[in-house]
């Protein structure tokens, strides 16, 4: 996938979170999201997500995109070993909203951190 694609930004973001690279992951957030989500809040909550992403497989499902906004849908598949025998699998979908800032895609809305969950209307976004 192209380095500057929305899908690649989501992939890199999840890699950063899974490796405790909070500052690098934070830099992939939009300017407006950073205004309501401090780096401290983000680091604290993304630390909690590390295990979830580091022990999971991420599968791209779909991308809806225009010149300025993009929605990337991925499936997160968690596989946990169950002792003494077997494994447990849990899968769910996550949506990442991205916007174009200075020709770069930035993540504009996340499902975590809880403290940074906001309605797009709060940021002045409109549908359409």
| pLDDT value, residue 68 | 94
Which tops the pLDDT comparison, 105 or 56? 105
Ranges of H-type helices in 4-65: 6-18, 22-26, 31-36, 39-54
Residue 76 contacts residue 55 (beta carbons within 8 Å): no
Find out if CATH 1.10.10.60 is the number for domain 6-120: no
Band of pLDDT at residue 119, cut at 50, 70 and 90: very low
Q: Which residue has the tokens 């209307």?
A: 121
| pLDDT value, residue 112 | 66
Q: How far apart are CA 2 and CA 9, in angstroms?
A: 10
Beta bridge partners of 88: 80
The pTM assigned to this predicted structure is 0.81
CB atoms within 10 A of CB 29: 22
Tens-place pLDDT, residues 16-74: 999 989 999 999 999 999 998 889 888 888 777 787 788 889 999 999 999 999 999 99
| pLDDT value, residue 82 | 67
Band of pLDDT at residue 79, cut at 50, 70 and 90: confident
Beta bridge partners of 97: 71, 109
In sequence order, what are the residues at sequence separation of 6 or more whose Cβ sits closer than 8 angstroms to the Cβ of residue 127? Answer: none
**Bond preceding residue 84 cis, omega within 30 of 0:** yes
Strand order in the sheet with 56-65: 56-65, 69-81, 87-101, 104-109
What SS3 class is residue 62?
strand
Average pLDDT, the chain: 84
Ranges 69-73, 97-101, 121-125: which has the least confidence:
121-125
């Amino acid at each position: 996938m192209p380095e500057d694609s929305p899908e690649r930004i989501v992939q890199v973001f999840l890699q950063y979170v899974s490796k405790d690279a909070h500052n690098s992951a934070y830099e992939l957030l939009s300017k407006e999201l950073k205004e309501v989500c401090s780096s401290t809040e983000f680091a604290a909550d993304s630390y909690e997500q590390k295990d979830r992403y580091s022990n999971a497989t991420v599968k791209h499902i779909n991308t809806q995109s225009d010149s300025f906004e993009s929605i990337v849908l991925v499936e997160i598949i968690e596989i946990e070993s169950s002792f003494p025998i077997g494994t447990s699998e849990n899968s769910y979908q996550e949506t990442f909203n991205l916007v174009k800032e200075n020709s770069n895609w930035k993540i504009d809305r996340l499902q975590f951190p809880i403290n940074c969950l906001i309605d797009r209307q709060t940021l002045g976004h409109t549908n359409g």
